[in-house]
Amino acid sequence: MSSTFTNLATEILTEIFLLCLPINTLQAHKVGRWTDTFLELPDDVLLVIFQHLGSELYALARLSPRLNLLALPVYLAHNGVPNPTELCEFRLVNRPMGGDTLSALSSAVYITQTKHISCEFTSGGNVSCYLHHIERLTNLIRKLSSVDAILLSLVDLGNVDSEVNELVKEQWRRTFSALLNVILERMCASLTIRVSSAALLEVLAEELPTLAELEVVSCPDFLDLKLIELLGKLPALTRLSLPFKADLHGDRPFASDRIIPSLPNVCSLTTAAPFLLHFLLADNALPILENLELECPLQRHCPRNGR
């Protein structure tokens, strides 16, 4: 604590001097005395000082419960999270670094729940950092009592700079499975995942059998069969959004009758004609569908009510 205050003392004293014009001289003779004096300042004075600080607010917030409550809201607001109980939105870079927005959210004692989490993982960097970020996100969600909706923009393992062998793939599988399990424990009502990965679809099929909402933003043709297999293992789906596909021509795996999910609980479906025609091959397909939004080649959105 003393060393941290030593590093912050000069900068904070400068801010006090700038904000309190009648003061002619400010000195911190001893770290211990500086600590006591600083903590004796009233909350409103500290908040004025904190408005003029940057990344050092995170280190400052770790020094006491009071500073945690005062400094972290300012730090998070500076980093695009002014109301964390409504939305926690942040971006993670795959390289070693100090405290970031996720660190602040995880250490904020006053944040016990949130309505929405939006997390973007960036491409490139080291795969070990990527896996560590997933673990950190898991710990944040585990800390919260409830989360209503989560949006994850993931990175395919082929888009990192370091080597990815079978051991790394298995480690990713375990790490991401742990994240999904925590999301399930929090009874998250909506989970949106953005990535093109066969491994991800396999994990989803195993770990989220009770998933209620799924949005697939894009899916390359070579993953069509994996996607169909996933849907067949998610009988609890009520809302489903699938990517646009132009036509049924060519050797398309989902055009066969090998796997035809019936989607018994889907009431809202956004999809393209190839997927819809494939679903209709099943007996009693889409029995409770109420809203259909069909992606068309010329007119991208063709909303229709009912079947």
Tell me the residue type at 11. Answer: E
Residue 192 in this model has a pLDDT that exceeds 90: no
Query: Quick one: tokens of 57?
Result: 């607010």
Max mean pLDDT among 4-8, 13-17, 49-53, 101-105 falls in 101-105
Q: Is residue 256 helix, strand or coil?
A: coil
Task: Please tell me which residue, 8 or 300, carries the higher pLDDT value.
Answer: 8
Using the 8-state DSSP alphabet, how is residue 223 labeled? G
Residue 4 in this model has a pLDDT that exceeds 90: no
208-218 pLDDT, tens digit per residue, is 787 788 888 77
User: Would you place residue 17 in the very low, low, confident or very high pLDDT band (cuts 50, 70, 90)?
Assistant: very low
Residue 174 in this model has a pLDDT that exceeds 80: yes
Residue 48 in this model has a pLDDT that exceeds 60: yes
- CA 88, CA 81: separation in Å to the nearest integer? 6
Mean pLDDT, range 285-299, rounded to an integer: 82
CB 53 within 8 A of CB 60: yes
Mean pLDDT of the chain: 81
- CA 4, CA 27: separation in Å to the nearest integer? 17
What Cα–Cα distance (Å) separates residue 55 from each residue in 20, 71, 81, 104, 297?
22, 11, 14, 11, 48
Q: Which of 280, 274, 279 is nearest to 296 (CA)?
A: 274
Owner of token pair 């989220």 = 208
Residue 198 in this model has a pLDDT that exceeds 70: yes
Share of residues in the chain with pLDDT > 90 (%): 38
- CA 164, CA 175: separation in Å to the nearest integer? 15
Angle at 306 (CA atoms; ends 304, 307), nearest 5 degrees: 95
Q: Which of 196, 201, 202, 208 is nearest to 236 (CA)?
A: 208
Pairing of strands 190-194, 146-153: parallel
Mean pLDDT, range 271-293, rounded to an integer: 89
Share of residues in the chain with pLDDT > 70 (%): 79
CB 148 within 8 A of CB 189: yes
Q: Which residues pair with 121 in a beta bridge?
A: 92
Q: Would you state the pLDDT for residue 144?
A: 96
Residue 239 in this model has a pLDDT that exceeds 80: yes
Residues 6+ apart with CB under 8 A from 287: 262, 264
- CA 67, CA 38: separation in Å to the nearest integer? 11
CB 291 within 8 A of CB 269: yes
User: Would you place residue 269 in the very low, low, confident or very high pLDDT band (cuts 50, 70, 90)?
Assistant: very high
127-173 pLDDT, tens digit per residue, is 888 999 999 999 999 999 999 999 999 888 877 888 888 998 899 99
Residue 279 in this model has a pLDDT that exceeds 60: yes
100-135 pLDDT, tens digit per residue, is 999 999 999 999 999 999 999 988 888 888 999 999
Q: Which of 187, 184, 192, 245 is nearest to 215 (CA)?
A: 192
Residue 20 in this model has a pLDDT that exceeds 60: no
Q: Would you state the pLDDT for residue 106?
A: 96
User: Would you place residue 15 in the very low, low, confident or very high pLDDT band (cuts 50, 70, 90)?
Assistant: low
Mean pLDDT, range 67-93, rounded to an integer: 95
Residue 72 in this model has a pLDDT that exceeds 60: yes
Residues 6+ apart with CB under 8 A from 30: none
Query: Quick one: tokens of 266?
Result: 């889907």
